[in-house]
Amino acid sequence: MSEQTTIKPTKNGPYLVTHCETLKGMVDDRRYDSAGTVALCRCGGSKNKPLCDGTHAQNGFTDEKGDDRAPDTRESYEGGGITIHDNRGICAHAARCTNGLPDVFRAGKEPFVDASAASADEIQATIEQCPSGALSYSVDGTEHRDRESDPEILIVPNGPYAVRGGADLEAEWGEGASREHFTLCRYGHSKNKPFCNGAHWNHHFDENASET
């Protein structure tokens, strides 16, 4: 059996990743050598992305969380045969939920979730598309949080690292967060580092640029 992937966010520096079986682009499927220990950029400024080239030492990157980040609070919403669990504090804002079931996951409205606005099967299928682990669901008293996935780290174009299949990450985890699938900031502006909070959308992260 292969060893579990380990991810260590270094102080104001890159992610040191070991035992990574697959490191590849999510869309272009380009694969990177991940044997041994790999240093992945998380400041957004490397000229050799996704690999670190030391730019974090010059561009003022800090790994501190933002004081105004969304609170780490999990809420539960009951519907017909399913309970939705949601923690906005660890959401990467990939919009899989709001685009997939806008009547259930209601952008700009409170409460954010209306668990009775779609069937349990539809809700389950949509939650299983969530890359950050902010969403999970319970059926008949059993929570479904993790998935059966091969271990890999996917590089989202102009976005985060999407970790699947589990990893030993040295970090403070959010309430109810999945440790099997989650997203890590690689742009440097997340208010919830090391996790992605969608800041790459607001700042228009360009992975081909050399500076943040």
Segment 179-184 mean pLDDT? 98
Check: CB of residue 179 under 8 Å from CB of residue 5.
Answer: no
Residue 131 domain flag: yes
Q: What CATH number is attached to the domain comprising 136?
A: 3.30.70.20
Q: Determine the pLDDT at residue 111.
A: 95
Q: How far is CA 171 from CA 63, 103, 182, 189, in A?
A: 11, 34, 12, 17
Measured CA to CA, the distance from residue 186 to residue 190 in angstroms comes to: 9
Residue 101 domain flag: yes
Residue 102 domain flag: yes
Q: Determine the pLDDT at residue 212.
A: 43
Check: CB of residue 111 under 8 Å from CB of residue 53.
Answer: no
Mean residue pLDDT of the chain comes to: 95
Into how many domains does the chain fold? Answer: 1
Residue 185 domain flag: no
Phi and psi at residue 25, to the nearest 5°: -70, 140
* pTM across the whole model: 0.95
Residue 90 domain flag: yes
Residue 210 reports pLDDT greater than 80: no
DSSP β-bridge partners for residue 31 = 24
DSSP conformational letter for 66: P
Residue 186 domain flag: no
With a pLDDT cut of 70, the percent of the chain lying above it is 98
Residue 46 domain flag: no
What does the pLDDT look like over 73-115, one tens digit per residue?
A: 999 999 999 999 999 999 999 999 999 999 999 999 999 999 9
Residue 126 domain flag: yes
Domain interval for residue 78: 74-144
